Amino acid sequence: MLDIVAVPAFADNYLWLVHDRDSGETAVVDPGDAAPVLAECENRGWAISQIWNTHWHPDHTGGNLAVKQATGAPISGPAAENIPGRDVILSEGGEVRLGAHIGRVIEVPGHTLGHIALIFDEERVAFVGDTLFAMGCGRLFEGTPEQMYRSLQRLTALPEDTRLYCAHEYTLTNGLFAAHAEPANSAVSERLDEVKHARAEGKATVPTTVALERETNPFVRATNVDEFARLRKEKDSFRS
């Protein structure tokens, strides 16, 4: 069994700790800041044995070297990107292991050119970094609309009960845009109400699921690349 814990960092990041009870191993996904993940592990009596990066941005890799220095954990990250301290190169078709749990690597460019996601098929778990957010998607800092659209389609082709662990708490602003983009979608309005309530109580709105994103994420629901590109451009300048 995997225990997955969100560690808040910066203004809105989630750094994920993944713990395998059987082996006692713990991985940290996208440690942008070392201090909070090391503190959380000390609290829980866990020892970090691996570091997994989805892409190079500093809010995902800034704590790599400090965590590695503190724990000796090797760093795994995407082949096409400059990952601080990387020991293991990850690319399409590769894998990570935590005890008996196997996560396969898929390449999901768009936010960055070398972005990857880690898919644990048996556990119905995916770590998606900044590619897909609850009710939204990452900005196109390096990639093209075609790349991001395909990446989102790959992620949402996973089984509908797959839990998607994204790296930011953006759901409220994404939901407001989704309601603007699809005003007649009752699933969007219902989910937005739930998100507003959760955030008012200081609760996290992630992970999300493939099923929820298929129903309420306008970027996933776009029927072609042109529609996706229009929505992404509109979202970039959207003010709620």
Q: What would the two tokens of residue 182 be? A: 């699809």
Q: Which of 59, 101, 193, 236 is catalytic?
A: 59
- Is 12 a known active-site residue? no
Q: Which of 19, 33, 60, 101 is catalytic?
A: 60
- Is 180 a known active-site residue? no
- Is 60 a known active-site residue? yes
Q: What would the two tokens of residue 130 be? A: 């900044």
Sign of CA dihedral 14, 20, 24, 30: negative
Site of tokens 């201090």: 35
Q: Which of 55, 193, 226, 236 is catalytic?
A: 55
Tell me the C-alpha distance between 51 and 28, whole Å: 5
Q: Which of 19, 101, 111, 115 is catalytic?
A: 111
Tell me the C-alpha distance between 31 and 86, whole Å: 13
- Is 115 a known active-site residue? no
Q: Which of 130, 193, 197, 236 is catalytic?
A: 130
Question: Within the chain, how many helices (H) and strands (E) appear?
Answer: 9, 14
- Is 59 a known active-site residue? yes
Q: Which of 57, 101, 193, 226 is catalytic?
A: 57
Catalytic residues, by residue number, are 55, 57, 59-60, 111, 130, 168
